[in-house]
Amino acid sequence: MVQKRATQIGVGDTCIDENAKKYVMDALNNNRLSYGKYVHGFEKKFAEGHNVKYAIMSNSGTSSLQVAIQALKEIHGWKDGDEVLVPALTFVATSNVVIQSNLKPVFVEIDPRTYNVDPAKIEEKITPHTRAIMPVNLFGQSCEIDQVLGIAKKHNLKSVEDSCETMFVKFKGKPVGSQSDVACFSTYVAHLLVTGVGGLSTTNSDEYAIAMKSMVNHGRDSVYLHIDDDKGAVRDDKENFFKLVDRRFSFVRMGYSYRVTELEGALGMAQIEKWPEILAARQKNAAYLLKNLKQFEEHLQLPWWPDYAEHAFMMFPIVVKKGAPFSRKDLIMYLEDHNIETRYMVPLLSQPYYIKLFGDLSKEYPIAAHVDENGFYIGCHQGIDQEALDYVLEVFKDFFKTRNSK
């Protein structure tokens, strides 16, 4: 029997390297905490990496989704109670921001292999009140975004892509998040890029970018969104400078206090410089786990993705198959007892608050319910070394030995 490891193998990793410390100290030494060169630089490089014009940084992926939905609602005149399609399996924030915007989430069944929204199930959920689709890129891989956007175009719907768990990888040659009206990403702890707190909303629309930037800043007039907007040569143009001063404390829409500091921007700049290295390590670790866990495929459904897509592997999802001689609880408790951290696979409709709001919807979404009841994930991040990977595999082997011996 494998000897229990002294330290936990977590589902996520944070590594503050020397460059990150250098950039943070530079921001502190410059006495600059509000929006400056680091946040701006991070936004610019992130946008470039996803082949879009704009990236607006906020204090979380949830905030990025919130301002995206609010901006589209304002610009396109959506009414309270209008509907937004949401996958039946996703992190609760995806659906929460719809509810918080006085809109109605309408759930769509998922694909049983990728766990993302099933495009074949979308149109049956569209009504005269549907205004947008929120496709989600779960666990590190894109949904079938071309099919989703085809349906959106056919029905004149907007697309807000929740890509908080997936970045930099491509789907049919195009970066995730580069095709929707707005895409949203997270840089929270344990995500693919880590800034402590943080999120980004990306778009190619000037109008959307201005509105979202404003909403992150309390709804401030777009003439003055950064403290540098009234410095330098601007002051020499007295007439226009007064117009700026006159609108400097003007708020043109309902907004939020979702700003980040230069410290998060500094961490982001250090992280984005090495994103290829981070993703390559995750993909290598996932490939090793996938290869060596295949021996248990009779009872475990392992990650799958089409050959025209890439997988960033924010985590390594596993679903216990129907008919397995053990339960999910049996397996995850064995892993946890051996210091291997686990998490359920983003249950949504079974959340107590959602049952209170919508009742028990499990029978309407049997695939999502199966994954909800039987799915979990473990870490495969860049902080896991070969010794830890081998330990994980030995624990799995030991678990199956105990099952077979009963």
DSSP string, 114-167: T-SB-GGGTGGG--TTEEEE--B--TTB---HHHHHHHHHHTT-EEEEE-TT--
The token pair that represents 387 in the structure block: 């010794």
The predicted pLDDT at position 233 comes to 46
The most distant pair of C-alpha atoms in the chain lies apart, rounded to whole Å, by: 85
Judging by beta carbons within 10 Å of its beta carbon (0-12, 13-18, 19+), is residue 153 exposed, middle or buried?
A: exposed
Question: Which residues lie below 8 Å from residue 374, measured CB to CB, with a gap of 6+?
Answer: 319, 320, 321, 322, 328
In order, the DSSP letters of 288-331 are HHHHHHGGGTTTEEPP---TTB-B--SSEEEEEPTT-SS-HHHH
Residue type, 33: L
> What pLDDT sits at residue 230?
59
What domains are defined for the chain?
18-272 (3.40.640.10), 275-404 (3.90.1150.10)
pLDDT recorded at residue 329: 98
Looking at residue 228, what is its pLDDT?
66
pLDDT of residue 150: 98
Task: Determine the Cα–Cα distance for residues 376 and 14; give it in Å rounded to an integer.
Answer: 21
Sheet containing strand 199-203, strands side by side: 54-58, 199-203, 182-186, 158-162, 130-133, 83-87, 104-108
Q: Which of 24, 38, 44 is nearest to 269 (CA)?
A: 38
pLDDT at 247: 76
pLDDT tens for the chain, 406 residues: list them.
888 999 999 999 988 999 999 999 999 999 999 999 999 999 999 999 999 999 999 999 999 999 999 999 999 999 999 999 999 999 999 999 999 999 999 999 999 999 999 999 999 999 999 999 999 999 999 999 999 999 999 999 999 999 999 999 999 999 999 999 999 999 999 899 999 999 999 999 999 999 999 999 999 888 756 666 656 545 556 666 767 777 777 888 999 999 999 999 999 999 999 999 999 999 999 999 999 999 999 999 999 999 999 999 999 999 999 999 999 999 999 999 999 999 999 999 999 999 999 999 999 999 999 999 999 999 999 999 999 999 999 999 999 998 875 5
Residues with Cβ within 8 Å of 19's Cβ and at least 6 positions away in sequence, in order, are: 270, 273
**Distance from C-alpha of 312 to C-alpha of 166, rounded to nearest angstrom:** 6
Closest residue by Cα to residue 229 from 34, 53, 88, 47:
34
pLDDT of residue 1: 82
